[in-house]
Amino acid sequence: MAEHGKGPLAGIRVADFSWVWAGPFCTLQLAHLGAEVIRVESMRRVCVTRMLPPWAEDRREPNTAGYFNQYNQGKRSILLDLAKPEGAELAKRLVAISDVVVENFSAGVMERLGLGYEELKKVKPDIIMISMSGYGQTGPLRDYISYGPAQVPMAGFSTLTGYRHWDRPMHLGLSYGDPNAGLHAAFAILVALWHRYHTGEGQYIDMSQWESTIALVGDALLGQQMNGRQPPRLGNRDPIISPHGFFRCKPAEPGTLPEGLLPEDRWISIACRTNEEWQALCQVMGRPELARDPRFATLEARKANEDLLERIVEEWTITQDPWEATRKLQEAGVAAFPPLCNKELAEDPHLNARGYFVEKEHPVVGVRKHGGIPWRMSDTPCEVWRAAPVMGQDNDYVFRHLLGLSQEEIERLRQAQVIY
């Protein structure tokens, strides 16, 4: 049981063999919900996210990587060489006292290590195991290696994202398949735990990250299937809503924006879903006559004259401070907000008032601000109980306290480089 013992998953232990982003993002949700997550790491193959920026004070070390430290809050870490027979046996002993096993290697890797589901359920018959491979455990692509950036175009996003009239692929800007797969996997594990609670049965979950990403473009798939054509790229526009997009605002005074932004980098997003919201926008802009103009009076008319409509809206926004315009529009019932850079997010008064950000003492980098838990539960409150672990931080806790190894055994395994 985790030291903090809070949250709806308090008392659940997760043996986390995952790495990079998708798997750790899954187990982050479980840690947030109160599970004791034990990351099984290796010096032979250090997690990719421990080697990516940003680094604290630009110290390029595995324990200073902000990327890793964000997505592994509230977890434990042990260092174990699974390629050695004694390492695999120790992993099985950990599984025997765990409830869930998570891995996101390519198909077949865990089996080759002697840690496939059929082997693990021999030591823990009701274990719940999820494999989050790129393409699933079956099918002609099962042995292919996959990372999130490749899943974006494979799921069709790169033909849907981009400016109007573009004829080339466009990336989303992040490996969207990874966190999306992590959330799908966490939900699947919760369902499996619920099933085990009622039946006593564990199960194996074969999850394809590719398929979970494709699930997000259902409307585009239906557009092709039902209408026989590829949905067009719309830039910031919406297929139905108008106006819908980003509009340039009044330039800032020099030196008042975060470093890297130019004075003209000030925008506001505006979306009018109904005629009433469009009429409210017209009032705020001081152009009430536009609401009666036949070119804009209905949604269909606004879509037909969208180029002109956007020019008119921007004639107003270019004279406005984005935050002041947001206040006026929101008070009038119009959805509007400025796009935020990272610094603005970190300092946002609303997020800070809700306690979204977490500041925990890390053994190497000290106190840092990290994104926390985006939900609140009244009866089972959740918390980030500690910062992300340094490599092998919990060796003593796991090997001595949980597995009962003597100090002599641990020292022998260290000498043999089974544990580090």
pLDDT tens for each residue of 263-288: 888 999 999 999 999 999 999 999 99
Structure tokens at 213: 């990403």
Cα 50 off chain centre by: 17
| Helix (H) or strand (E) run with residue 86 in it | helix 85-96
- What residue type is assigned to position 408 of the chain? E
Kindly tell me if the per-residue pLDDT of 402 is higher than 80: yes
Determine the Cα–Cα distance for residues 40 and 100; give it in Å rounded to an integer. Answer: 13
Helix, strand, coil tally for the chain in percent (to 5): 40, 15, 45
pLDDT of residue 1 exceeding 70: no
Catalytic annotation, pick one of 16, 81, 99, 178: 178
pTM: 0.93
Q: How far is CA 75 from CA 69, 159, 191, 236, 370, in A?
A: 10, 38, 22, 38, 14
Cα–Cα distance, 18 to 16 (Å, whole number): 6
Residue type, 297: A
**265 contacts: CB under 8 Å, gap ≥ 6:** 252, 257
pLDDT class of 4 with cuts at 50, 70, 90: low
For residue range 129-146, what is the model confidence (pLDDT) as tens digits?
999 999 999 999 999 988
Q: What is the mean pLDDT of the chain?
A: 94
From CA 368, how far away is CA 365, in angstroms rounded?
Answer: 7
Is 218 a residue whose pLDDT tops 90?
no
Output the CA–CA distances (angstroms, integers) from residue 112 to 91, 105, 115, in the order listed: 14, 11, 7
The yes-or-no answer on residue 379 being catalytic is no
